[in-house]
Structure formats: C-alpha cells, structure tokens
Amino acid sequence: MTLIEELEKEVIKCRSKDIASRGIRVGLLKAIHIVKNHSDWIPASEPPKEDGTYLVQTKFNTYKILDYYTCCNRWDDDAHEIKCVLAWQPLPKPYEGERK
C-alpha cells in the first residue's frame, strides 16, 4: 500500500460527525495534497502522454527502466509486457561530466 493510499484509508475512518475527527480528516486531506504535489512519482493510473522510456517502480518494490507505448497503454522491457507498474517518472537528465 502506498503512502497516499494509507492516508486515504485514514480519511475514510475519520468520516464521523465528531468535531475532532473532522479536524483530523481535514489534516489528512491536506497531507495527501502536500505529498501528491511534492512527489516526482506519478501513479500508473495516470500514464505518460507520450511514448518514451521512463523510470518505474513495480509492486515488488523494484525499479526498472521501461518503454511506454501510448497506442496500447503498455509498459515493455523490450522482451515482455510488464503489468506490475505502480508509478513512473521521467528519466533524470544525463550526466554531463564535471563542470570547470
């Protein structure tokens, strides 16, 4: 379960009419917003808009560099379709050597 999913689960638990619970719920919703806006990871449910090569995290907590094809909504490692992607992000910029 991702951090956001855990926070969302707590929000559901705080849906009572108790004022303290409502305050906790508001705080959790703010925390979810902050985490979503400060994370470089994008959920797999929001796939890339362009074909390309991306860094992904799988449900097995491994990281891979995979190709994504928009035509068929497919993550691929040149040999197999990969269906266990949780999140993705663009590759970092290549190393340019030491600056002088």
Please tell me the predicted confidence (pLDDT) of residue 5: 75
30 domain residue, yes or no: yes
Confidence (pLDDT) at 17: 62
The answer to whether position 96 is within a domain reads no
One digit per residue, the tens of pLDDT, for the chain of length 100 reads 667 677 777 777 776 666 666 777 777 787 777 766 667 889 999 999 999 999 999 998 889 999 999 999 999 988 888 899 999 999 988 888 877 6
Domain that includes residue 60, residue range: 43-90
Nearest to 80 by CA among 67, 70, 89: 67
Structure tokens belonging to residue 68? 């994504």
Task: Indicate if 53 and 80 belong to the same structural domain.
Answer: yes
**9 domain residue, yes or no:** yes
Within a 13 Å sphere around the CA of 27, how many CA atoms are in the beta-carbon half?
A: 8
Q: How many secondary structure helices (H) and strands (E) does the chain include? A: 2, 6
Report the residue count for the chain.
100
Measured CA to CA, the distance from residue 68 to residue 30 in angstroms comes to 32
* Per-residue pLDDT at 33: 72
* Domain shared by 62 and 84, yes or no: yes
Residue with structure tokens 């040999």? 79
Specify if 16 maps to a domain: yes
